[in-house]
Chain A
Amino acid sequence: MATKVPINDPMIDPRTGEYAVIAPGHNFKSVTQKIAGLVLTSNTPLGWFFGLMVAGGVASLVVIAVTWLFLKGVGIWGITMPGAWGFAIINFVWWIGIGHAGTLISAILLLFKQTWRNSINRFAEAMTIFAVVCAGMFPLLHVGRPWLGYWLFPYPNTMNIWPQFRSPLAWDVFAVSTYATISVVFWYIGMIPDFGTLRDRATLPLARYFYGILSLGWRGSTRHWIRYETASLLLAGLSTPLVLSVHTVISFDFAVAALAGWHTTIFPPYFVAGAVYSGFAMVLTLAIPIRKWYHMEDLVTLRHLDNMAKVMLATGSIVAYGYGMEVFMSWYSASHWEFFMMWNRMFGPMWWGYWMLILTNIAIPLTTLWSRKLRVNVGYLFVLSFIVNIGMWFERFVIVVTSLYREYLPSSWGTYVATKWDYMLFIGTWGLFTCLFLLFVRFLPMIPMSEIRMMLPQTKITRGGPTAETVSEEMS
């Protein structure tokens, strides 16, 4: 394979003939300096402060919206009967979906030994956790009596009452709390070697203590590494079924119900595909500014963007298949209500939701992503990532709202109009997400140094390649 590509391609490792994932010219020290330097610098970029200020301001909307919600009740939202689920559920599914790409990158791509994941997995995992934080609020907030939310957990109580384990909403509690826990553990374990590096490079005593405690006495011995790799692989093996089941459980919230438009067996895989689709869009949204502002073009290369766009193309096609099947089945079922549901989605009062979804999720991305030229066009990808995230939001909007507001009985048809409190909480979660992400970028290693170091050509042992002496020379 090495002979088929032009020999002077800078992305080809001259020693092994393999396609490099990161740009050439790095050695162990330069990678470490570059990534650790961002954290340990005393010169925080002004833009970071500005960003944190803006994001914090937006995040304060959450506080306002939640305070008013707790004071007045869920009636401040646009939910009515029959449309009793609205923005809260749409946003919940949307945020959870975004988180899934992080786990896909960190776990599934690890199982497939995709080394290109190494540059992006850390901030993709961070994205997962912060998205789960945003998502996790909604199930609690959208209940009328949030102070009794703990009743959803099975604990021995004086009422002799346990949760109903047949409800997918109870499964949500277990799915999301397990997902959040495993994601945090996986993320943290991945960072331990990097914390060790930061501890050793920090000059401020406070930073030394901070990263020293976080690194848990990591010395990087062979025994450490063997166990670290085993643990990572095990966690990846555990997270993979987890990520598939979590969004499956969330799709059950709808698919288990008897509503036309919800009661569909295609939901579990199609929701998961949609989650990965929107999640990768969000990774692009984050990766593109990061590589530009922090000059990471050599670590997050065009090849990464190209690969991510390809995953989006694949999952987007699955989602498109899902839409197609829904339309086909609503005709093929010969069910009056199924047929009306689809007709209403396309041509009813909320037709714009459906066509917006087709436009932003199918029409624009799936026609353009086939072109390699556009897949490596950073500006285009950045815009596209927003388009897909809008589209995936509309997907949940269409599923939740257009199935609910016109259901079996025409006498209980209503409509759904979101209020300013719906928007305020949704926009507020963007601010919260951005805030958390900015803090992550400043205080934690946003690209796994240890994993990037392992990708360097210097680690490859080939005939005529570097000897131990030359490697240690490069390291010093």
Chain B
Amino acid sequence: MAQVFDRSSNALARMSLVLAGLIVIALGVALNQLQRSPWVTKQGQRPDQPIPFSHKHHVEGVGLQCQYCHVQVEKAGYAGIPPTKTCMNCHAQIWTNAEYLEPVRQSWATGASIQWIRVHDLPDFVYFNHDIHVNKGIGCASCHGRVDEMPLMYQQNTLQMEWCLNCHRNPAVNLRPTSEIYNMAWAGPSTTKPVVCTSTNKGGPTAQNVSCEVATEEAAVPAGYTKFTSQIELGKYLTAQYHIRTPNELSSCETCHR
């Protein structure tokens, strides 16, 4: 009787062993990559907004500060999208005939809201609070990226839980003086651009007791001020001054999931 399997089966059998291992590894790597891919997180996607609003033009070009439109960001959990009224403050006079501003004028005339498409859309079981971050020294750009360089809005970061927790477990790497919150170009202290801070130590609850300035390398440190040349040193100082809670408290479920 002939052999059931000919010689080539030896190679096939060995290959199948290797292949099975490779498939398992490939599957693991692929799934791991997939869950963090922009396809899943929607990073960098620019949805079709009713009006092609350009942050680049309004922030970098016109020089508006963030709170001009997002008025509640320091006071409420929800930063807010400006109403049509805010647009019409200027566009009642400027570019009154621009075709792509027609939806704004329509909204103004009819009273119907502009249907903006939300780019940073967290699930509703996450209770994100803007004011606590802004008041405790997290700048806009840390989470939203360089919005002043975005002609159309997109999501810079993953907004995944691991991303939130990375900062809640080690906030010092992202803390900045509250005076620099809306500074899109803030890069943190360095030896050439040190930051000097002083604390009034009135025992108040938040950042209002701390005053920081960006100094130059040569300038003398004023009396009562401390000089910082690295983000880690500054971050540690601000963590203490802002009374930022411990990583255990900050990563407890009830912080975000109520």
Question: What residues of chain A have their CB less than 8 Å away from a CB belonging to chain B?
Answer: 156-161, 199, 208-209, 212, 217
Which of B4, B5, B13, B35 is in CB contact (< 8 Å) with A158? B35
A326: min CB distance to chain B, Å = 38
Within 2-41 of B, Cβ neighbours of A (below 8 Å) are at 4-5, 13, 32, 35-36
- Chain A residue at smallest Cβ distance from B168: A160
* Contact in complex: B4, A160 (CB < 8 Å): no
Interface size classification for chain B: 10 to 19
Q: B109 — which chain A residues lie within 8 A by C-beta?
A: none
Contacts A157-B35, A158-B35, A158-B158 known; A212 to B4 CB distance under 8 Å?
A: yes
Which of A157, A159, A161, A209 is in CB contact (< 8 Å) with B4? A209
The 8 closest A-B pairs by CB, nearest first: A158-B160, A159-B161, A160-B162, A212-B4, A160-B165, A208-B4, A158-B162, A158-B35
Q: Mark B149-167, 1 if CB is under 8 A from A, else 0.
A: 0000000001011100110
Bound CA–CA A199/B3 (angstroms)? 11
Bound CA–CA A157/B158 (angstroms)? 13
Q: B5 — which chain A residues lie within 8 A by C-beta?
A: 209, 212
Q: Mark B234-256, 1 if CB is under 8 A from A, else 0.
A: 00000000000000000000000
* Contact in complex: A158, B36 (CB < 8 Å): yes
B43: min CB distance to chain A, Å = 12
* Contact in complex: B13, A159 (CB < 8 Å): no
B242: min CB distance to chain A, Å = 24
Bound CA–CA A156/B36 (angstroms)? 11
A98: min CB distance to chain B, Å = 31
Q: A157 — which chain B residues lie within 8 A by C-beta?
A: 35, 162
Q: Can you list 16 A-B pairs with a CB-CB distance of less than 8 A?
A: A156-B32, A157-B35, A158-B35, A158-B160, A158-B161, A158-B162, A159-B161, A159-B162, A160-B161, A160-B165, A160-B166, A161-B161, A199-B4, A208-B4, A209-B5, A212-B5
Q: A161 — which chain B residues lie within 8 A by C-beta?
A: 161
- Chain B residue at smallest Cβ distance from A159: B161
Bound CA–CA A443/B230 (angstroms)? 71
Q: A199 — which chain B residues lie within 8 A by C-beta?
A: 4
A155: min CB distance to chain B, Å = 9
Which of A156, A208, A209, A217 is in CB contact (< 8 Å) with B13? A217
Q: B165 — which chain A residues lie within 8 A by C-beta?
A: 160
- Chain B residue at smallest Cβ distance from A213: B5
| Majority secondary structure of chain A interface residues (helix, strand, loop or mixed) | loop
| Majority secondary structure of chain B interface residues (helix, strand, loop or mixed) | helix
A184: min CB distance to chain B, Å = 16
Q: B160 — which chain A residues lie within 8 A by C-beta?
A: 158-159
A196: min CB distance to chain B, Å = 11
Bound CA–CA A212/B6 (angstroms)? 12
Q: B35 — which chain A residues lie within 8 A by C-beta?
A: 157-158
- Beyond A156-B32, A158-B162: 6 further Cβ-contacts under 8 Å? A158-B35, A158-B158, A161-B161, A212-B4, A212-B5, A217-B13
Most chain A CB within a 10 A radius of its CB, from B4, B158, B166: B4
Within 184-214 of B, Cβ neighbours of A (below 8 Å) are at none
Q: A209 — which chain B residues lie within 8 A by C-beta?
A: 4-5
Most chain B CB within a 10 A radius of its CB, from A156, A157, A160, A209: A160
- Chain B residue at smallest Cβ distance from A203: B1
Q: A156 — which chain B residues lie within 8 A by C-beta?
A: 32
Bound CA–CA A161/B4 (angstroms)? 51
A181: min CB distance to chain B, Å = 14
A227: min CB distance to chain B, Å = 17
Q: A159 — which chain B residues lie within 8 A by C-beta?
A: 160-162
Bound CA–CA A401/B153 (angstroms)? 56
Bound CA–CA A159/B35 (angstroms)? 10
Bound CA–CA A1/B158 (angstroms)? 78
A205: min CB distance to chain B, Å = 8
Within 124-167 of B, Cβ neighbours of A (below 8 Å) are at 158, 160-162, 165-166
Q: B162 — which chain A residues lie within 8 A by C-beta?
A: 157-160
A7: min CB distance to chain B, Å = 46
Q: B36 — which chain A residues lie within 8 A by C-beta?
A: 158
Q: A160 — which chain B residues lie within 8 A by C-beta?
A: 161-162, 165-166
B152: min CB distance to chain A, Å = 26
- Chain A residue at smallest Cβ distance from B10: A217
- Chain B residue at smallest Cβ distance from A212: B4
B241: min CB distance to chain A, Å = 28
- Chain B residue at smallest Cβ distance from A217: B13
Bound CA–CA A209/B160 (angstroms)? 50
Q: B4 — which chain A residues lie within 8 A by C-beta?
A: 199, 208-209, 212
Bound CA–CA A158/B35 (angstroms)? 7
B21: min CB distance to chain A, Å = 17
Bound CA–CA A160/B164 (angstroms)? 10
- Chain A residue at smallest Cβ distance from B166: A160
Q: B32 — which chain A residues lie within 8 A by C-beta?
A: 156
B16: min CB distance to chain A, Å = 10
- Chain A residue at smallest Cβ distance from B36: A158
A203: min CB distance to chain B, Å = 10
A219: min CB distance to chain B, Å = 12
Bound CA–CA A212/B35 (angstroms)? 40
Bound CA–CA A130/B195 (angstroms)? 69
Bound CA–CA A217/B14 (angstroms)? 12
Bound CA–CA A208/B160 (angstroms)? 53
Bound CA–CA A156/B5 (angstroms)? 42
Bound CA–CA A208/B165 (angstroms)? 57
- Chain A residue at smallest Cβ distance from B32: A156
A188: min CB distance to chain B, Å = 15
Bound CA–CA A158/B32 (angstroms)? 9
Bound CA–CA A157/B28 (angstroms)? 12
- Chain B residue at smallest Cβ distance from A161: B161
- Chain B residue at smallest Cβ distance from A199: B4
Bound CA–CA A62/B224 (angstroms)? 76
Bound CA–CA A161/B161 (angstroms)? 9
- Chain B residue at smallest Cβ distance from A157: B35
A61: min CB distance to chain B, Å = 33
- Chain A residue at smallest Cβ distance from B165: A160
Bound CA–CA A161/B35 (angstroms)? 14
B192: min CB distance to chain A, Å = 36
B20: min CB distance to chain A, Å = 14
A370: min CB distance to chain B, Å = 52
Q: Mark B38-73, 1 if CB is under 8 A from A, else 0.
A: 000000000000000000000000000000000000
Bound CA–CA A160/B253 (angstroms)? 12
